[in-house]
Amino acid sequence: DAKTTQPPSMDCAEGRAANLPCNHSTISGNEYVYWYRQIHSQGPQYIIHGLKNNETNEMASLIITEDRKSSTLILPHATLRDTAVYYCIVLSGTYKYIFGTGTRLKVLA
């Protein structure tokens, strides 16, 4: 499975959009991009996933570049409760998730 690279930390003002980038330059054609987040020391929470089209759900939007080598998770109106570590994972049809160290997002009041 492809490896991912994320910035270690980011800040975002409350009410603004939070854009979290992820690089996965070695991704192969059948690998999906998944995003999870971990608030404080709780168990991770699924956010969204996609293959090549942009995806949106009630929590976030996922934008995948045309060459699929990078993606961006967008939280449209960040709140203080969105402060968490966000993990980008690339996976193809197996259950072997590799979480990495993620991006620590701090939403500022």
Query: Nearest Cα to 37, choosing from 16, 10, 15, 14?
Result: 10
List the interface residues with other proteins, window 12-41 (CB under 8 A): 32, 34, 36, 41
97 touching other proteins, by CB under 8 A: yes
Give the span between the Cα atoms of 90 and 52, in whole angstroms.
12
Q: How many CB atoms lie within 10 A of CB 93?
A: 8
Q: Which is nearer to other proteins, 21 or 44 (CB)?
A: 44
Spatial distance between the Cα atoms of 99 and 29, rounded to a whole number of angstroms: 20
Q: Judged by CB under 8 A, which of 21, 55, 72, 99 binds other proteins?
A: 99
Distance of closest approach, residue 51 Cβ to other proteins, in angstroms: 11
Rounded to an integer, what distance in angstroms lies between the CA atom of residue 26 and that of residue 29? 10
Quick one: 28 or 77, whose CB is closer to other proteins? Answer: 28
Please report, as ranges, the residues that interact with other proteins according to CB under 8 A.
Answer: 32, 34, 36, 41-46, 49, 87, 95-102
